[in-house]
Amino acid sequence: MPPLLWYAYKKRKRGRKMFCPNCGQFHNDTSKFCPNCGSPVQPAQQPNPSQPNGWQPNAPANGYRAPIRYRNIGLCVVLSIVTCGIYGIYWMVCLIDDLNIACEQPQDTSGLTVFLLSLVTCGIYMIYWCYKAGDKVTYIRRRAGAPVDSNTSTLYLILAIFGLALVNYCLIQSELNNVAAG
């Protein structure tokens, strides 16, 4: 057995160290009383059996959602051009993830998955995703009480077909900036 694995095995076998709330000394997690001061210590909390393997539900607790970052659209466009599209890929992945959060559909297709599917299908999936993004933007605007344009999906589709997906990113980022601003 390699030395690092042997050390980890022995450390796990000995038990983790716990902190005594009374005297501040460390002790083994298997002991019920502190060896220094003799005060009873809390046993280690057992994992919740209703949540197997540490899985947490997708529903946010207490209304918490992952924050949607405000991004400067002009800076994103300039960085996409200067880095020959590399920043554009990063921006697209973040944009898709933020759009999913803003639509309250975090389980929807992630940004990285959309990028990989677009790569494999030579951009056809990106055209489809741009059309679906129009529906999501319409949902966000309707929920915010803003005027809704039913042709958003068609506009995004036409822009994507003509190779102007960067314009789509700008339009979507503008909507996400409105959500991030409150």
Q: Which residue has the higher pLDDT, 36 or 79?
A: 79
State pLDDT tens for residues 41-66.
765 455 555 555 555 555 544 455 55
Q: Domain check: are 31 and 89 in the same one?
A: no
Domain membership flag for residue 29: yes
Q: Domain check: are 100 and 37 in the same one?
A: no
- Other beta carbons less than 10 A from residue 13's beta carbon: 7
Q: Domain check: are 40 and 81 in the same one?
A: no
Full residue range of the structural domain in which residue 22 is found: 3-56
| Separation of alpha carbons 5 and 84, rounded Å | 44
With beta carbons less than 8 A apart as the criterion, state whether 137 and 146 touch. Answer: no
Say what percent of the chain tops pLDDT 70: 69
The rounded radius of gyration (Å) of the Cα atoms in the chain is: 25
| Separation of alpha carbons 29 and 45, rounded Å | 11
| Separation of alpha carbons 26 and 168, rounded Å | 57
Q: Domain check: are 47 and 106 in the same one?
A: no
Q: Domain check: are 77 and 52 in the same one?
A: no
Q: Is the pTM of this model over 0.75?
A: no
With beta carbons less than 8 A apart as the criterion, state whether 45 and 16 touch. Answer: no
Q: Domain check: are 82 and 31 in the same one?
A: no
Domain membership flag for residue 120: yes
Domain membership flag for residue 64: no
Q: Domain check: are 102 and 50 in the same one?
A: no
- The residues with which 26 forms a beta bridge, in sequence order, are 19
* Residue 38: pLDDT band with limits 50, 70, 90: confident
Own/partner long-range contacts of 149-156 (Cβ < 8 Å, ≥24 apart): 156/130, 156/131
Domain membership flag for residue 61: no
Q: Domain check: are 47 and 95 in the same one?
A: no
Q: Domain check: are 117 and 47 in the same one?
A: no
Domain membership flag for residue 51: yes
| Separation of alpha carbons 5 and 52, rounded Å | 26
Q: Domain check: are 51 and 78 in the same one?
A: no
State pLDDT tens for residues 114-129.
999 999 999 999 999 9
The domain total for the chain is 2
Q: Which of 30, 56, 82 is the last residue of a domain?
A: 56
Domain membership flag for residue 12: yes
What local confidence, expressed as pLDDT, does residue 158 receive? 95
Q: Domain check: are 107 and 30 in the same one?
A: no
Q: Domain check: are 87 and 35 in the same one?
A: no
Domain membership flag for residue 68: no
Domain membership flag for residue 30: yes
| Separation of alpha carbons 3 and 181, rounded Å | 52
